[in-house]
Amino acid sequence: MTRWLEGTVIENRPWAEGLFTLRVEGAPLTFEAGQFVRIALDIGGERVARPFSMVNAPADPVLEFYGIVVPQGLLSPRLARLASGERLFVAPNPAGFLVLAELPPARTLWLMSTGTGIAPFISMLRAGTPWQSFYSVVLVHAVRHARELVYRGDIDQCKAQFGERFRYVPVVSREPASAALRGRIPALIGDGTLEAEAGIELASASAQVMLCGNPDMLKDTSAVLATRGLRKNRRRAPGHITVESFW
């Protein structure tokens, strides 16, 4: 039986309609940047849990979770309403293989995300670990509306610190947005637009790609990358594409 950690909310930040970040203290957790954990509330006499990636760096004792409200969901609407001082539960066993230790060497690390899938990549950037193994990092964040392009403070800090070694490519699908590409990640890879915007070639000889987001993006992006000679990364058969999905 899971022995849950009990944490206290110290901040609930709304980003846009249905998007929120919870910062939680008092639930010490050891994890690798990129992993996820279940968080829970007691609802109707039952402990209801869902997986969330950590946004904070592993060295930060304050846990941070970025979530979206599923309107008919049992847990997420309640999480979005939590106030400072209220409690939630955190499982003690982080999981997931979307971690840099699983990647073969390469020159460029591509971090491609949709929606809340940016969370594990912000954790990696905050930890500073990508720069120990890769010369260049390209962060791609695809959303429906420009107001969903979050964590810009962290992104601007990376730009200031690493200059041309860090590239940020925002993608918006449902409205025109300044300084953002329009469309979906797989199509933008397929026609060369994403590489042109990043100024870096997406090639099997020089790239590692991490994907986190909705299942359609993961499937379609993996397929278009395969046409470029990139293949799934497995422990027994090292490749180029590492995927995380807990939808």
Residue 1 scores a pLDDT above 60? no
Mean pLDDT calculated for residue range 218-224: 97
Mean pLDDT calculated for residue range 120-144: 97
Q: Over the stretch 24-53, which tens digit does the pLDDT of each residue have?
A: 999 999 999 999 999 999 999 999 999 999
Q: Secondary structure of the chain: what % helix, strand, coil (to 5)?
A: 25, 35, 40
**Nearest in space to 228 (alpha carbons), one of 181, 177, 194, 178:** 194
**Category of 217 on φ-ψ map: left (φ > 0), alpha (ψ -120 to 50) or beta:** alpha
Residue 89 scores a pLDDT above 60? yes
End-to-end alpha carbon distance in the chain = 24
pLDDT at 19: 97
For the chain, give the mean pLDDT: 95
Backbone angles phi, psi at 172, to 5 degrees: -125, 130
Mean pLDDT calculated for residue range 223-233: 96
Mean pLDDT calculated for residue range 144-169: 97
